[in-house]
Structure 1
């Protein structure tokens, strides 16, 4: 019964948000509470929700201060030089703009943090997309696809989790997957080029060759919402501060939430010494912060109920039970295929700490080592990043100003294609054996 209710809850939740009957926030709160009550956990619901909220709190704090920090950097014009450079290089060509957006996301994703990538890429590239009239769903699509692939790096979330869960090291898990990751990255650039060719045929090419420097500056300032002109030394300070924060992000020597809290406080005090100006800047970003953080806490309630009621364990056991004995040698391939839907419907924590160890234990009975299952479990990440249980996904759609359901419908088929490419690369190289 618990397994049935777990599947029913997930289907109800996804149907509600994808048909527009409930917003993601309302669905994350109401649907799990309803099904937990049906399952007989009514008195325990408050404790389960609070456990989930406590686990998600560091992520919520990180997103809150990351949005405030990068919003402030947009206000002071930190990304103006990048926008100016891309405008000149792209020459108003939608193909160059879209492929450039994908490549930029691929590079910035090396920091291992999806929220940071989305904040940087969308804020830098959105003015160009708007200026050319490009389909608004393309920007979040070409931003999330390479990010989902590069996020498989050892310092990213999924690989770190699966190495901890199965007690394997980087050389066993990540290195054999590099060719598959490279193939999927090439696939994301090819998809971006396809989008670009479509938009070029639809929109044509706008020539900016004869735009004066003054007009260019006006366009950039309007697009980036620069608040007041910044002196040269302050622009240098903001760039150095951001670079230092990115270095701390990659080094992972301090909690990311603390890095952004302190960084935001320093940037605000230096750029806007007047307290009234500080309040004004915070108020200007309050709506975007509230929307994202509220959904993050909603996701905490959802996962808290899923794990606390045992629904996550029930789902894992049901999957293992569905694998017949004759198919035991194909568990790596089965794990790779299941990793896409499972990481979509479950959080990374639930999948890598709840489901993958069960699959690895079943595989061990057939002489399959745990590192093979670890590699297979990473294949579905391009689909995982479209899950409503990924807090950063709401940062992306919020910045791009698109509906979450529209983003899912537009991007899903391309993400599934990338999963197929990654699996193909892993099979060809032997990282994930067929049998």
Structure 2
């Protein structure tokens, strides 16, 4: 094993240990660990350029996240979602089980478009206020959302499947169609986990099916009582339909890709601020300061992820890890290469970008597999089962949209969702093996 490979695998272990034991924040780990490693390897004079290249690659995403959070924070304060929240709360009758399972189903359906940020925006827009008013733990919404989107992320118009099909010159019929039973099994697991979380919240909140209606009205009354005078001043009920139309137009523009997402949200934020608080410059400035703390934290995380991926790529640590993986497989285990690919994709897909994994590592594994009459399509399918936990990676930009909208931290989301998300991948892998979708 080369020095770079040893360093790469060691970085993964150190990063996970520090993150899971709360010894360092994810942002600081993303920035400091790769820089220290690069300097130690003798790349000191080039570290600044490597880091800057990584930052440039994620800068558009950072801008999009910042202004998306600004826009929807304004809409929430203006009261645009209040009627929707009340209607949903009446429908689920104050039952945490129905709320959490419904959140999962909604996120799964919306994510069929293959766009993570849009899915998170719509899901949190519709459900976050309901979760808050019922007193459901804040981490649950991002947990179930990221889990189900991890399953639906395998659709061929999504990122990973499109990349692996391109890298190995395959069609959707070769990769995606055979994986549909695995996706169904993975989705069923996520729904089961959501139901489990709902039962836990029922017990914690002292709500049963019989008193769910009371919980609904208690939640509404509690929220109205807690709304302070300043929050009430920010409501704009007379602009409700103006805000709705503006949001619908913005969402439509996102879907048809009228402009880049970051530009659309910048325009939307400016319009939302002027329309709702345009006659009061002080309120506009106060809103910017109020939202800024949470927004800056998430933007800093994205930029830190850019430094991490930039240094990992330009120091060739990723290439060394890939070569070590293929060269370390004993010939007698060559016939198990599909299973090895599936198992190794869990750590690789977590710590590498989709581009690095599907364009850098998977083709090497596919080439090696030909020695044992295992097709590229089977390797491609095996490489995708780890999508169940890929979205928890600190290098996935869409996850920061979810964190920003829900107020959760990456540390908390990792502790809440990592193990059940690994369970999703295990369920999908077992399904694939049993049905012969990938060879054992």
Query: Is the structural similarity TM-score above 0.5?
Result: yes
Assess, with a 3 A threshold, how the Cα gap between structure 1 residues 221 and 306 changes in structure 2: closer, same or farther. Answer: same
User: What is residue 237 of structure 2 aligned with on the other side?
Assistant: 230
After TM superposition, the structure 1 stretch with the greater mean CA deviation from structure 2, 170-179 or 271-280, is: 271-280
Equivalent runs, 1:324-363 vs 2, <5 Å: 324-363=330-369
Aligned mates of 2:20, 2:300 — CA distance in 1:
19
Residue 314 of structure 1 deviates from its aligned partner by 0.7
**Aligned residue in 1 for 2:371:** 365
Report Cα offsets for 1:119-159 as digits up to 9, x if no partner. Answer: 44335433333333333332221121111111222232212
**Pairing of 1:266-415 with structure 2 (within 5 A):** 266-274=271-279, 276=281, 277-415=283-421
- 1:68-103, CA deviations, whole angstroms, 9 ceiling, x for partnerless residues? 222222122232232112211222222112212212
What is the DSSP-based 3-state SS (H/G/I as helix, E as strand, rest coil) of the residue aligned with 2:237? coil
Report what 2:44 is aligned to: 42
**Structure 1 residues 425 and 75: alpha-carbon distance in aligned structure 2, compared to 1, 3 A threshold:** same
Question: Is residue 60–residue 262 contact of structure 2 (8 Å, CA) maintained in 1?
Answer: yes
Q: Are 1:265 and 2:270 matched, yes or no?
A: yes
- Among 182, 186, 203, which residue is 1:184 paired with? 186
Distance 1:362 1:387 in 2: 27
Q: Which moved more, 1:193-202 or 1:206-215?
A: 206-215
| Residue in 1 that maps onto 2:161 | 159
Measure the CA separation in 1 of the matches of 2:140 and 2:219. 29
Deviation per CA, 1:325-354, whole angstroms, max 9, x where unpaired?
A: 222232222212222211112222221121
For 1:242, which of 226, 247, 251 is the aligned residue? 247
Structure 1 moving runs of 4+ over 6 Å: 219-222
Where structure 1 has 5 or more consecutive residues not aligned to the other structure, the ranges are: none
Aligned partners of 2:434 and 2:248: how far apart in 1? 39
1:221 Cα deviation (Å)?
Answer: 6.8
Deviates more, 1:370-379 or 1:402-411: 402-411
Q: Secondary structure of 1:365's match? A: helix
Question: Equivalent residue for 1:105?
Answer: 107
User: Are the structure 2 counterparts of residues 263 and 110 from structure 1 closer, same or farther at C-alpha, using a change threshold of 3 Å?
Assistant: farther
- Contact conserved, 1:60 with 1:293, CA < 8 A, in 2? yes
RMSD: 2.7
User: Which one is further off, 251-260 or 305-314?
Assistant: 251-260
Contact 1:99 1:192 in 2 (8 A): yes
TM-score by length of 1: 0.90
Matches within 5 A, 1:99-138: 99-138=101-140
Work out the CA distance in 1 between the residues paired with 2:310 and 2:133.
43
Q: Does the 8 Å contact 2:97/2:197 carry over to 1?
A: yes
1:417-432 correspondence runs (5 A): 417-432=423-438
> Relative to structure 1, is the Cα distance of residues 129 and 358 closer, same or farther in structure 2, using a 3 angstrom cutoff?
same
CA distance in 2, matches of 1:124, 1:395: 15
Q: TM-score, normalised by structure 2?
A: 0.89
> CA offset at residue 186 of structure 1?
1.6
Q: Match for residue 82 of structure 2?
A: 80
